[in-house]
Each structure stands twice: as structure tokens, then as C-alpha cells.
């Protein structure tokens, strides 16, 4: 027996980790600039989370969604402490994909409309609907196509011939929404505050403009924060850079600190419109005491350890180090990011070297990845990463560029 060959696997067998460092069977160490699959924001071996999980293992993992538990109350309480009062209805699930699906179901149910608007170059999950909205699923001929998908140009400003026309509420990449006839108005705009695919950072004002479009269409704005949420961009949630409140918020990855937890949060008004149409929504691992306890503990740890602020500070440090390197290496077209969600894009001429460079960095002990579609190195380190670790990475990155 071996694993399905669905994802290229490095020939590395990991055995443990501490903070931002992972160890393998040979005793080699790796700085994890990806937080696993962008999930382990507290780093590895985090004592508070480990103790909470051990304690919960002596209690209940799963109870059936029809029962309440103290742990779910705790999870809700901690979520409420980091959200505006309007976002007051939540469901805990396991993965980002599931949460995106539920958010979309809520939007279709609440509005009675069929369409959904998404940015090109995005990734929204591995389930059939979420994947078919994603760039990787768009051309997958084996997939049934999601109907009525309105694709909006990605905010990939480094490659946009009209980026100079941006600002003051004007975003040429959103023009298709300006011209939309009422019969095509969607149920939802699925908005990722920073696109994780290529670390595409929309200009400030973009999210607020999307919220205006959603209002004028009678659609819901879904802030898809599977990657941007929980401090990743230097604020608890990416939508906060925009001074807006979404109608639905999707949280994943970081809220589990490496364990499978996600959440969908919405307003009382959306709940009242959607639930009578949706009927029951029950999944085996919905609202479990385990997910409530983990979410509460992760939110508490991020707050008590000042990790949102740390994400902003370390992100600035990483960005400025990369910008210094960019000054010396013209092969880097653009460095961009917010908080600890950082990317460095290669020029089109240098892009073919990206995958090889990324492999070299792994050999040197730095886990990161190279996103082919946007020719971008992606860096999502744990929030506990230190300046020394960032400097070590920058030195290795520069050496690999010079090779």
C-alpha cells in the first residue's frame, strides 16, 4: 500500500517540530515557511494547544450535532470576541472546503439566486463546487461545471496593464461587474482579501467596492478567509483592512492550529433568510466539542501571545528583507504581501527556474513553495517565527538566486 499519487511528495520523513522548525528522520532541520498547509500558525509543539487537546481527549471528541457542550460555547465566545457584533451566528466544521460550500449554500438559499462571482486565479477548495470555481478546476474536463460563474479579473497588479488607473474606488479589474445586467446578478461575491494562490494583494478600497457591488445586486459578500483569517495578514481578518463587515465569513486553517477545524459565521438576518430554505444542515463532525475547544484555545493563544501584532511586525521584516534582495536581483519582478502572507514573483524570463530554486531551498532546509500560475514564491510562516529564522531564510534565498 502507498498513498495515492495525487500530490508530489518530497522524499523527507518528518518526525517532530518545535516553533517554526521541523525535524526529519536523519536529524536534519527545516524552517517551515509554510506553516504546514498554512495551518500551524502557533508553530509546532505549542504547549497550550497540546495540553488542551490532551485534556479534551479525556473528555468528549464528538457528540452528535443535536447536543450542546460547554466547549462549543467557549469556541463561540472566543469567536465573538474577535468579530463585530453583526456576525453572531456560527457553525463549526472541519475544513476550509466544507466551510466554503456551506457559505455558498447559505448565499443561494438566502437570495434565491444561482450565480456566484469569483476572482480568477483563486483557489476555494477541493470539493466539486469549490474546485470548479477555482482556477485549477476551471479547465478540468472531468468536473461537472458549476453554473452561472462570473469570473472577475484577478487583482494581479504586477501584470495588469491598467493598474495605474486604480484608486478612489475605481478598479478596472472589476469592470465586468459594472456592466452586469440584472438577470445575471449573482447570489454571492466570493471575496478573498488577499488571494493565496499568488499572494495577490488587491489595493485598499477593492473589498469595499465589492461590498457596494454586492449590495446593489442584492447579493451577499462572502469573505473567504481560509488563509487570510486569524491574524495571517496582520489583522484578525483580512476584511478589516477594508473597514467593511462581510455578510458571511469563512474561517479555516489557522483556527485549528494544525487540527481540522473551520467555521462559517454570518448575521442573524442572513440566518433568518437562509435556514428556512436550507432546512437541516448536518455533518458528522459539525459543532463537536473538540472543534469548540481547539478554536477557543487557538484564538486565546493568538490573543494572549500578541500573535496578530507579531504577524504584522515579522511580515514587515520579511517583506523589507525581500525588497532589499529585489534591489540586487532583477529576476524578482515584485515582492508583495500583508502580515505573514508574503510572495516574491519572478519575471517571465526567470519563471522557468522557479521550481528548481524552490527545490534547492528545501534541500537547504527551508520549506516554501513556488506557485506556477503566478511565478511566485509563497511564504506563510508560523506567527511565532523569529527574526533570526527570517534572516536565515533570506540569506538562503539570496544564495539560491545567485546560483
Ligand X SMILES: Cc1ncc(COP(=O)(O)O)c(C=O)c1O
Query: What's the closest the beta carbon of residue 189 comes to ligand X, in angstroms?
Result: 15
d(CA 373, CA 133): 16
Nearer CB in complex with ligand X: 260/365: 260
Cβ-contact 75, 69 below 8 angstroms: no
d(CA 153, CA 172): 9
Nearer CB in complex with ligand X: 133/325: 133
Sign of CA dihedral 165, 349, 131, 13: negative
Nearer CB in complex with ligand X: 210/325: 210
Backbone region of residue 168 per phi and psi (left: phi > 0; alpha: psi in -120 to 50; beta: other values): left
- The string over 286-297, giving b where at least 16 C-beta atoms fall within 10 Å of a residue's C-beta and e elsewhere, is bbbbbbbbbbbb
Nearer CB in complex with ligand X: 69/374: 374
**Binding-site ranges for ligand X (CB under 6 A):** 95-97, 100, 123-126, 192, 196, 224, 226-227, 252
Query: What's the closest the beta carbon of residue 267 comes to ligand X, in angstroms?
Result: 21
Nearer CB in complex with ligand X: 127/392: 127
Q: Three-state SS for 44?
A: strand
Query: For 136, how many CA atoms within 13 A lie in the half-sphere containing its CB?
Result: 14
Q: What Rg, from alpha-carbon coordinates, does the chain have?
A: 21
- DSSP run (H or E) holding 84: none
Q: Three-state SS for 372?
A: helix
Query: What's the closest the beta carbon of residue 133 comes to ligand X, in angstroms?
Result: 10
Q: Name the residue number minimizing CB distance to ligand X.
A: 96
Query: What's the closest the beta carbon of residue 101 comes to ligand X, in angstroms?
Result: 9
Nearer CB in complex with ligand X: 115/258: 258
d(CA 194, CA 227): 9
Cβ-contact 203, 167 below 8 angstroms: yes
Return the residue matching grid coordinates 531564510. 393
Query: What's the closest the beta carbon of residue 216 comes to ligand X, in angstroms?
Result: 25
Nearer CB in complex with ligand X: 173/259: 259
Q: Three-state SS for 184?
A: helix
Query: What's the closest the beta carbon of residue 9 comes to ligand X, in angstroms?
Result: 17
Query: What's the closest the beta carbon of residue 386 comes to ligand X, in angstroms?
Result: 25
Amino acid at each position: 500500500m502507498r498513498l495515492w499519487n495525487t500530490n508530489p511528495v518530497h522524499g523527507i520523513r518528518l518526525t517532530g517540530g518545535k516553533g517554526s522548525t521541523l525535524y526529519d528522520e536523519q536529524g536534519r532541520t527545516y524552517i517551515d515557511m509554510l506553516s504546514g498547509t498554512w495551518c500551524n500558525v502557533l508553530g509546532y509543539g505549542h504547549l497550550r494547544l497540546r495540553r488542551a487537546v490532551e485534556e479534551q481527549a479525556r473528555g468528549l471528541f464528538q457528540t452528535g450535532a443535536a447536543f450542546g457542550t460547554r466547549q462549543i460555547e467557549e469556541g463561540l465566545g472566543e469567536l465573538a470576541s474577535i468579530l463585530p457584533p453583526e456576525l453572531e451566528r456560527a457553525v463549526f466544521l472541519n475544513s476550509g472546503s466544507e466551510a466554503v460550500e456551506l457559505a455558498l449554500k447559505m448565499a443561494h438559499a438566502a437570495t434565491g439566486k444561482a450565480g456566484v462571482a469569483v476572482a480568477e486565479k483563486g483557489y476555494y477548495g477541493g470539493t466539486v463546487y469549490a474546485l470548479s470555481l477555482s482556477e485549477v478546476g476551471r479547465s478540468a474536463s472531468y468536473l461537472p461545471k458549476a453554473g452561472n460563474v462570473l469570473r472577475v479579473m484577478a487583482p494581479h497588479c504586477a501584470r495588469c496593464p491598467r493598474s495605474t488607473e486604480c484608486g478612489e474606488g475605481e478598479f478596472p479589474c472589476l469592470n465586468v461587474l459594472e456592466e452586469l445586467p440584472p438577470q445575471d446578478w449573482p447570489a454571492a461575491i466570493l471575496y478573498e482579501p488577499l488571494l493565496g494562490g499568488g499572494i495577490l494583494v488587491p489595493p485598499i478600497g477593492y473589498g469595499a467596492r465589492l461590498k457596494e457591488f454586492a449590495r446593489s445586486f442584492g447579493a451577499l459578500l462572502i469573505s473567504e478567509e481560509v488563509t487570510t483569517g486569524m491574524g495571517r495578514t496582520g489583522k484578525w481578518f483580512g476584511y478589516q483592512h477594508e473597514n467593511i463587515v462581510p455578510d458571511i465569513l469563512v474561517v479555516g486553517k489557522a483556527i485549528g492550529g494544525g487540527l481540522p477545524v473551520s467555521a462559517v459565521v454570518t448575521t442573524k438576518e442572513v440566518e433568518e433568510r437562509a435556514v428556512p430554505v436550507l432546512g437541516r444542515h448536518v455533518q458528522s463532525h459539525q459543532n463537536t466539542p473538540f472543534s469548540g475547544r481547539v478554536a477557543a484555545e487557538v484564538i486565546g493563544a493568538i490573543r494572549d501571545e500578541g500573535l496578530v501584532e507579531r504577524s504584522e511586525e515579522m511580515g514587515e521584516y520579511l517583506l523589507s528583507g525581500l525588497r532589499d534582495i529585489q534591489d540586487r536581483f532583477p529576476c524578482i519582478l515584485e515582492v508583495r504581501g500583508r502580515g505573514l502572507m508574503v510572495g516574491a514573483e519572478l519575471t517571465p524570463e526567470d519563471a522557468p527556474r522557479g521550481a528548481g530554486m524552490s527545490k534547492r531551498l528545501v534541500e537547504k532546509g527551508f520549506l516554501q513553495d513556488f506557485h506556477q500560475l503566478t511565478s511566485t514564491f509563497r511564504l506563510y510562516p508560523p506567527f511565532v517565527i523569529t527574526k533570526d529564522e527570517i534572516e536565515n531564510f533570506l540569506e538562503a534565498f539570496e544564495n539560491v538566486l545567485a546560483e
